[in-house]
Structure 1
Amino acid sequence: MSPIKDFIVTYEAPNEKGFISQGDTIAGTVTFTLTKETELKVLVVKVKGNARVHWTEGTGDRRKSRTAHRRYLKLKEYLVPENDKGTALPKGANCFKFRFTIPQEDMPSSFKGFHGKIVYMLEAKMSRSWRPSSVVQKELKFVSKSLSHPGSVMGPQSGSVEKDKGKVQMSATVNMKVCSPGDTLTVVAKIRNSSSKKLKPKVSLQQRIVYRAEACTNVSDLSLYKMEGDTITSGSEETFSCQVKIPGDANCTIQNCEILSVEHYVKVYLDISFAIDPEVKFPLVVIHSSLAALQSGQAVGPYPAGAFGAPTYTDFPPPAFPPGPYPVLAGPGAYGYPAPYPSQHANMTNGYNNQWPQPAAPYGFSNAAPPPFQQGTEPPPYMSLFSPPQDDLGRTGSDYKN
């Protein structure tokens, strides 16, 4: 019978929410009771962070397994130094203290998904000669600071799209780019329907998880929220608005793990029967609520300010008219965005943040943002928002289906 009883590892959380981040100190104890004097070869405590993905594909003889692993953190402290001859510990209660400081390095947040996970673990291991090792573990919740953003990129996003050579036009706005679980977004869309068909505005909040292993990918798309507006008849103009709540248990964005990424976006689209639906997509960065309270303008982590940039998921330039009740982009550099598309961090090689060349200005809109909308002045007439394109530019419009 083993003389080791009540082998426990505990630590003091550095904050009320119980998570750890870069720069935090973990202080704790390893305790156990010995029923007799015992010789240990080693007693060591570790903090480890690992990402793993695994899935199978194909059937029968063509069935293959895809696996990948990345290590992001490994800290070690010897409480009883390694000694092949053994170190004698007295009978009774034994207590050892330890302390670690999490390095200021780029590490992804904790995550658990269907095909992969990112896990940080506190582990104590005790070894004796000719005996199986005794191991106790406690999982740590790690929240990465690498995706914190300065306030300059937390403003609204705008995009526009048209169909059938301008017969259907939509301009949409989302009031924020960076948010936290539990936050509520405001979506406003202005639609002009000059076609012969009825259409219905819809909004969805999407999550995309991409697992990568052995040059293959496994993609999981999930709709977290959906809402639709009233039908817009032919020859009418409507403004559709709704509130989109980020679920309280939503995964945070992960873009700094080579084998696993988590992304979110809001899709605003028009449901048209027997036609390809025109849509505008807005990327969201979902961060932990504690990081959202960081002082405005304070960039944390390896990504430079503006690294996520101004472009949205749509290939269309910003609309040339005020997007509803939200501020209008005052030109290149508004809200801190470089003009017109910022450079991106070398690690950002996945998902919707890939750098794309700037498209030509369609629909008669200029690539340059409109002049600032002065406070206290009257907004432009609604009909002026949908001015017909110039003849010499009319051929550049998006025509999903003629």
Structure 2
Amino acid sequence: MDYITSFDIRLDKDVYYAGEPLTGCVVLENSENIKIRGIRVLLRGKAHVQLKVMKSGERKTLKDDQYLLDEKIVIWGKDKHEEPDATQILPRGMHQFNFAFQLPQCQMPCSLETRMGTIRYYVKCIIDIPYASSPQGIKYFSLIGPHIDCMEEKYLASLCGQDHKVRCFRCCQRGTIALRVVLERTAYCCGENLRIKAHIENRQDFTINLNIKLFQVIEYRIEKGVLGETKNITSTVLEYRSPTVNENTQAKFDSSLEQHPIKIPVVPPTMVGVCRLLQIYYMLKVSVEDERKNESLEMEFPLTIATIPYRSPQTQLYSITYDFCVDYVEGGRYISPEFRLGQVYDGNQPPGERENGAEDDEEDIILYRPVYVKCIEKPKGLGRMTKELLDQKLNESPNDLRRGLKSGSQKSMNALLQPGNTSSLEIQNPVSVKIHKTPSALEQQQLLKN
């Protein structure tokens, strides 16, 4: 419609949890009076899976959908089912229509973007104009779920595993290796350090290393036909190799004492039994690796990626932010072409390189990417600085305390927010989302049509 010069959907925030109210507004500007039957807003959540399979020598594509949310409200005028012939005049000018939805308080899967499956939540606005094409706009948002708390009792119990192996060459015994592993807890939030301890005994004539790997497994399921179709995709989330354990020695490993801790990268949370079409789970594999990269004494532990971080009994200070998934696992390595503007290439070649090897100067504009929870560690020394500040204030008189409380607090915060102290900066702004330049809903509609 040429009379509509501006059309945009604005949400109060871009990240939501289950049970929260979702509020926003539709901004509409028209240069002339328009006959409109009504303006309706839809809230939808949809899971989609598409698998390519071979059956009887023929390649087929199977698809299946699951609707997670489907709500509708009319923010102006009448619905088309109420009075089909009723129309109203929308005067020219700038208009703002507010809307509000209530997200259900239940276990809901998180937003996800992969090549074979997607989980998307969005708000859609339709301007119903009789005898003309109805302008539409879509605004996507990220939903954090399901609700998994690291402080639940079933996740706080430690897991222990041990094994040994005797190596022989023909009839001669060459030595024994033994491994004992203790995983302090089984649930971690992205950004937290893995808490694992191990005791390694090497009674052989060559060196060994402790190898720790975390795997992500996504299972896609389409329940069509007699048995249905399933497909699993496994990705390596992290890999850590401990210092060398010399021959005929034993060593103890503690991840909390290492110079470089094992930090969980940003990945989608565990989803088991939440969505009918796909589920995500993680496995921690611990093994002993020799000089020839041969693995032995392999142990696997189930690991849960949670959405609420662990709170230490000593302190309740922690910070939550949101970030994109890493680009080497499912959920971060694929961006749908409908959300990319600029050079669109959906193959193995990096999107920033051309066929002749030259790089593009312009970066792609990403319309939408889901974000996930990331835990920020408490800055070291924050508790000590706070205690010293309180001790200093207790030694002052009541009048000095009242006069200097505001200035002293400001000085302490300025000391924390120095340019080099990035972790303190994140504590000061606990909720921050990396946002790309996002066009309005009308611009998105025109770009997607082109």
TM-score interval for Structure 1 and Structure 2 normalised by the shorter chain: 0.5 to 0.7
- CA distance change for structure 1 residues 233 and 283 in 2, over 3 Å: closer, same or farther? same
Distance 1:244 1:231 in 2: 17
Distance 2:312 2:251 in 1: 38
The answer as to whether partners of 1:187 and 1:244 remain within 8 angstroms in 2 is no
Q: In the alignment, does 2:90 pair up with 1:71?
A: no
The answer as to whether partners of 1:108 and 1:146 remain within 8 angstroms in 2 is no
The answer as to whether partners of 2:145 and 2:269 remain within 8 angstroms in 1 is no
Q: Deviations over 1:74-94 (max 9, x none)?
A: 121112222321321232233
CA apart distance, 1:185? 1.1
Distance 2:36 2:150 in 1: 48
Which residue does the alignment assign to 1:254? Answer: 271
CA apart distance, 1:264? 2.0
The answer as to whether partners of 1:33 and 1:91 remain within 8 angstroms in 2 is no
Report the AA paired with residue 50 of structure 1. K
Report the AA paired with residue 269 of structure 1. S
Alignment equivalent of 2:282, drawn from 260, 264, 267:
264
- CA distance change for structure 1 residues 86 and 34 in 2, over 3 Å: closer, same or farther? farther
The answer as to whether partners of 1:86 and 1:128 remain within 8 angstroms in 2 is no
- CA distance change for structure 1 residues 40 and 199 in 2, over 3 Å: closer, same or farther? same
Which residue does the alignment assign to 1:90? Answer: 90
Q: Which runs of 5+ in 2 are unaligned?
A: 168-175, 256-260, 314-450
- CA distance change for structure 1 residues 172 and 48 in 2, over 3 Å: closer, same or farther? same
Distance 1:91 1:218 in 2: 54
Which residue does the alignment assign to 2:241? Answer: 228
CA apart distance, 1:95? 2.4
Distance 1:164 1:136 in 2: 63
Q: Which runs of 5+ in 1 are unaligned?
A: 297-402
Q: In the alignment, does 2:183 pair up with 1:174?
A: yes
CA apart distance, 1:148? 3.0
The answer as to whether partners of 1:156 and 1:173 remain within 8 angstroms in 2 is no
Calculate percent identity across the aligned residue pairs.
19
Distance 1:281 1:177 in 2: 12
Report the AA paired with residue 81 of structure 1. K
Alignment equivalent of 1:81, drawn from 78, 81, 98:
78
Q: Deviations over 1:335-358 (max 9, x none)?
A: xxxxxxxxxxxxxxxxxxxxxxxx
Instruction: After TM superposition, list the pairs within 5 Å mapping 1:201-216 onto structure 2.
Output: 201-214=210-223, 215-216=228-229
The answer as to whether partners of 1:153 and 1:178 remain within 8 angstroms in 2 is no
- CA distance change for structure 1 residues 281 and 144 in 2, over 3 Å: closer, same or farther? same
- CA distance change for structure 1 residues 11 and 179 in 2, over 3 Å: closer, same or farther? same
- Cα RMSD of the aligned pairs, angstroms, is 2.8
The answer as to whether partners of 1:207 and 1:222 remain within 8 angstroms in 2 is yes
Q: Deviations over 1:93-127 (max 9, x none)?
A: 33222111111122111111221111110111112
Distance 2:213 2:137 in 1: 43
The answer as to whether partners of 2:150 and 2:156 remain within 8 angstroms in 1 is no
Q: In the alignment, does 2:277 pair up with 1:277?
A: no
CA apart distance, 1:60? 10
Report the AA paired with residue 224 of structure 1. V
Which residue does the alignment assign to 1:10? Answer: 10
Which residue does the alignment assign to 2:343? Answer: none
Q: Which segment drifts farther, 31-40 or 54-63?
A: 54-63
CA apart distance, 1:3? 2.2
Q: Secondary structure at the match of 1:100?
A: strand
CA apart distance, 1:147? 2.5
Report the AA paired with residue 72 of structure 2. K
Q: Secondary structure at the match of 1:182?
A: coil
Q: Deviations over 1:343-385 (max 9, x none)?
A: xxxxxxxxxxxxxxxxxxxxxxxxxxxxxxxxxxxxxxxxxxx
Q: What TM-score does the superposition give when structure 1 sets the normalisation length?
A: 0.65
Distance 1:294 1:87 in 2: 56
Distance 2:293 2:32 in 1: 80
Instruction: After TM superposition, list the pairs within 5 Å mapping 1:87-126 onto structure 2.
Output: 87-92=87-92, 93-126=94-127
Q: Secondary structure at the match of 2:153?
A: helix
Q: What TM-score does the superposition give when structure 2 sets the normalisation length?
A: 0.58
Report the AA paired with residue 73 of structure 2. E
Instruction: After TM superposition, list the pairs within 5 Å mapping 1:1-400 onto structure 2.
Output: 2-13=2-13, 18-58=14-54, 61-79=57-75, 80-82=77-79, 83-92=83-92, 93-155=94-156, 157-164=158-165, 167-194=176-203, 199-214=208-223, 215-232=228-245, 235-242=248-255, 243-247=261-265, 249-255=266-272, 256-272=274-290, 277-288=296-307, 291-292=308-309
